[in-house]
Structure 1
């Protein structure tokens, strides 16, 4: 399901006290992908997801699914459309009075599915999320990761076209987060879903998304593929997210068989580490195979320059690696200019004091 947002605007309140939650947002979410929408608190993420998922109407602009406008649909059409949308939330939103299986069954009960169909679908989904045989388990006996797996199963009950994940891993520890992200990615591929991840964690974007939009004060600061955003960040808010990334674990494995005891073991061998807060005028970004090349060593042999590395590391993205070095490079002006040109000719992206060359 392809999603197109055209000039969406949403304001709460009127006059000077009005809150401009979403301001003229236009985005294209490709079909059958995991698309991230990231922003700090108050950036407009939650409002935007409510507009995209048809829970609220925009003040202006439009929402299209597969080139068909849906935000202005009549009540009956909206209800039918919403049944084909799955939602996962940070706090699970499960019924404490129902068992795990009964929580999954709830959406099917609403549409009047037969008891046998509900039983079969519930068993199928429990198997899918790795909790086969736990249909009678009280919600209170489940761990946070298990509760989120039940929430995922419930969201998939009506075989949706789109799955929205609103801060779905924010309440989970890092190991469980990796396990849940792996599950979501495997489900996305298996069911050909369009998944929209709403998050304030760039680690989530890095580990699972292929495209991302960065929100800032209700507007799109920038958008594109995750590789482009990580290697060529344009906005201040994006650079701030990247500067505060946690340690990068290896890319998510393809199969759930890589899980162990409900989680995935992280590695702290790679990631972005800063060992000096001083200097760092030049930020060098390496994509793909360039991350393993001794570029700076060659640079010092070819040109009369010296370098001092202040920070560095590799971020493992779903579609490849992006390496970053924060450095000082010194030398005669003409040699320095030649050195920077040589770096760019080798596919290295050079930023000077936060500005792209």
Structure 2
């Protein structure tokens, strides 16, 4: 399908743009002037490395299929590893080229370079890294669908599970509730990573910080779900599922309440309506989690809540966690998100066996 290469190219472009931010900061620190030599070298390395990864991925995939035929086992495909290395090379090279260009321009007030001054490098690298991993995961999935899945199905070893377009109401409610609670816990841990060091230092977070953090905790899953719904509406392969989720009464009610509340502005009625809409969106995940493509949608949901939870924590807009307590809680939140993403992959496997393994 023509949408697949376009989607992959779009994801790669977004990853390069995000990688250009930390590259601009690093290259801009050189007081001796900006040189294009590192960018040219990085581009050459990326081209050669991408070609090598492509060939190695093909060879490893053939060995994987041969082992699957011999043993009947199909897990552990090496495709993602080679795809990730190739993506990191391309994204890094693209980021260096973009960084070299912007670092050579004046850092005037309001310029791109000036806007990056308040963001720590680890935060910029985090966003670029998450996008690169997401893009590599999508690319590896499409490669396996084109080159491995047909062969595994033909040989009677494995197949792609038949997805239920819509879960029974009881199962759908259970799944949405689980996502909401897991997302809220991630957001809550990150809010705690920002607010506890402030409290331990004897200071008090402002009312705006507390309000924003509480909204991020209870409404974060709904905000992330809305962002995912918009992306699903824009992407042709998921548009049907997105429209199906959007026309559900609970989704319409959540969006309408939030829109009316925001229209009313800072009034008490507006705040209550907007909060009710966000809570309803969180509780139902806007009906996308039992209609969209899994486990991929779940992975993005967990990563999205982590990023949103970090940004809504006190001192989290452009700062790293504060002190040992802040770092410990932020790392615990990351560990929990990874653990739940791994468990989610087991609940929604990409392949299901058609026969018992040999031996």
For Structure 1 versus Structure 2, the TM-score category normalised by the shorter chain is under 0.3
Higher RCO (C-alpha 8 Å, min separation 6)? 2
More helix by share: 2
